[in-house]
């Protein structure tokens, strides 16, 4: 897979599931309350 950009104040990666969990809604709320941002679903973080 292509290397993704590092998460920052405007970019957040979230693991995909069948529903939107409460931690995702917190991210949506935080982005909506500031300058906005992008949430990319379906990405599992690895510690390399």
Query: What is the pTM assigned to this prediction?
Result: 0.51
Number of domains in the chain: 1
Tokens of 32: 């909506």
Q: For residue 9, what are the domain limits? A: 1-48
The reported pLDDT for the residue numbered 48 is: 54
Tally of residues, the chain: 48
**Euclidean distance between the first and the last CA atom of the chain, given in angstroms as a whole number:** 14
The reported pLDDT for the residue numbered 15 is: 76
- Which residue, 9, 1, 11, 12, is CA-closest to 48? 1
Distance between CA 42 and CA 14 in Å, rounded? 6
pLDDT digit string, tens, across residues 1-48: 456 678 877 787 777 777 666 677 777 888 888 888 887 777 776 665
**Contact indicator for 37, 10 with CB cutoff of 8 Å:** yes
């Amino acid at each position: 897979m292509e290397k993704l950009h590092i998460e920052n104040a405007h970019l957040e990666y979230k693991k995909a599931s069948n529903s939107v969990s409460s931690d995702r809604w917190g991210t949506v709320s935080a982005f909506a309350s500031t300058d906005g941002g992008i949430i990319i679903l379906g990405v599992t973080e690895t510690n390399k």
